[in-house]
Structure 1
């Protein structure tokens, strides 16, 4: 109910700037992409011709497109790994120890480093004669001179992208978990200690339940980031080693192959895949689902 003298239109005026930005930069591109998926678009002439489902047939016959969807879904394997690593780091640096602020800043540092600059360094790490193969050879995992070509073979290159994504993003979620840990009432922990609960029992019965909303948030954000993997592939492998992801496929199809219709169709299909993944997550979240209506 509006206050006396305040018209309902006033609320819409406050919402209008955000709604306008959303309509121009999100809603309109999505609608245009849906239209483009059924067109042959000629950028030089700036004309389009309706082609029914020809773009989708092209994608159906494309082994690269199927591989890109598979790789994007495989990137979801990084979600639990990143969450476990971020929570572990948060528990580690949450303690009040001398110099702990230094370690917090160090773990967060990769987040603020530009992806392109970080990828240049990591190329040398993953090089055949790089640091990673030297380390694995030193500890006896591989024979000298028999290390994998990390950035040129499918599975090693995809693992390299996952390791790079873990290193780049784990600090971001560590900060979110630190905020969640700071919000846990100290009285609960102190009461559990008085009742004789050990560290493991306190973690399972107090820390994890209290962190459930933060875990849900971090899982959603990391799932979106995993499905949107693009910069890592572009700067680290350039799509070599069969590491092409769905967004990289769309980018390459549009701006290298200049087939904007097929790129639009690929983006539309991948959007449906993302919606399916989101639906599964929403159902799994249970009572911590942020979209669930209160009873």
Structure 2
């Protein structure tokens, strides 16, 4: 009995007790749907009709589905913003980690987009990026653009514009993670390097960023998965269509369309499984590339 009490009062038991509600929610709404979707991908699941096992037919169809290829290419193109998000987030974290007047205000200002509703963000950016919006006015007035551009209605600029909005909205989130990492970096190492003649950029490149490698690994993997699975920004800014045409059609939006608009749940599950495998492969590559680094490595 005393042994059971000791276990119950241990730090591990207390930690599991606090995590239990969150783990239960994850099990019900994340893990179980993932597990259930795997066998579903091999069927022609129907809500009202009979469900039949069809083997790899859904995957064969995906191989020939041009719209899925376009959506997958757009999602992989979205990955291009990952390095920029990480770089700018690190620079912002270094900036707000300095003891300058008003630094708390800057931290709050940079984090506001993270907690702002995507609907509100879409309304703001739709207004800013409209043909008669502020962005066009400033760029045309400065002579950068010869004429106004419909940023979200032009097939050449729509995807890049949505990617920019995603980067703008996510910078504050990753900045806070890197800011936490900077708190663990010994200042003595940077000070010693500067005494030896290193400038600020050399310190950031050769000391700060290598010491932040574990945080870079975590943030890169999270942003990579978010980029490939991007849905909210594209859905709201394109009106749920992935337009104009298929310019902003991402894999998540296409899977949503197949599953919840066309009710092809088996095919949607197969597409989701393909995307998950791609994310897993890219995550393994990034993990292998960023294994070394951090304070404990030095």
**By the TM > 0.5 criterion, same fold?**
yes
Is residue 244 of structure 2 the alignment partner of residue 246 of structure 1? no
Asked if 1:52 corresponds to 2:47, the answer is: no
User: Does residue 36 of structure 2 align to residue 35 of structure 1?
Assistant: no
* Alpha-carbon distance between aligned partners in 2 of 1:125 and 1:19, rounded to the nearest angstrom: 41
Shift in Å, 1:78? 0.8
Q: 1:52 to 1:197 in 2, by over 3 A?
A: closer
Partner of 2:201: 200
> In structure 1, what is the equivalent of residue 92 of structure 2?
89
Normalised TM-score (structure 2): 0.86
Residue 275 of structure 1 deviates from its aligned partner by 1.3
| Matched ranges for 1:61-76 at <5 A | 61-76=64-79
Deviation at 1:122, TM superposition (A): 0.8
Once the two structures are superposed, the pairs formed by residues 14-25 of structure 1 within 5 Å of their partners are: 14=16, 17=20, 21-25=25-29
Q: How big is the shift at 1:12?
A: 9.3
The CA deviation string for residues 24-78 of structure 1, in whole angstroms up to 9 with x for no partner, is 3333212221111121222134x41222233223322221100111111111111
- Matches of 1:248 and 1:70, distance apart in 2: 13
269, 275, 292: which one aligns with 2:280: 275
Closer, same or farther: CA 288–95 of 1 in aligned 2, 3 Å: closer
* CA apart distance, 1:21: 4.7
C-alpha distance after superposition, 1:126-181 (max 9, x if no partner)? 2222222222212222223xx33322233311101111001100011111111122
Paired residues of 1:216 and 1:288 also in contact (CA < 8 A) = no
Aligned to 1:174: 175
**Cα drift, residue 224 of structure 1:** 1.6
SS in 2 for 1:258: coil
Unaligned runs of 5+ in 1: none
Secondary structure (helix, strand or coil) at the match of 1:148 reads coil
- Say if 2:213 and 2:290, in contact at 8 Å, map to a contact too: no
Q: CA deviation at 1:19?
A: 6.1
Match of 2:210 in 1: 209
Could you tell me which residue of structure 1 aligns to residue 3 of structure 2?
5
Going from structure 1 to structure 2, the CA distance change for 1:149 and 1:102 (only over 3 Å counts) comes to same
1:99 counterpart residue number: 102
Matched, 1:286 2:266: no
* Residues in 2 aligned to 1:89 and 1:23: alpha-carbon distance in whole angstroms: 36
Name the TM-score, length of structure 1 as normaliser: 0.87
Task: Name which of 247, 250, 265 aligns with 2:270.
Answer: 265
Secondary structure, counterpart of 1:40 in structure 2 = coil
Rounded to whole Å, the distance in 2 between the matches of 1:128 and 1:258 is 37
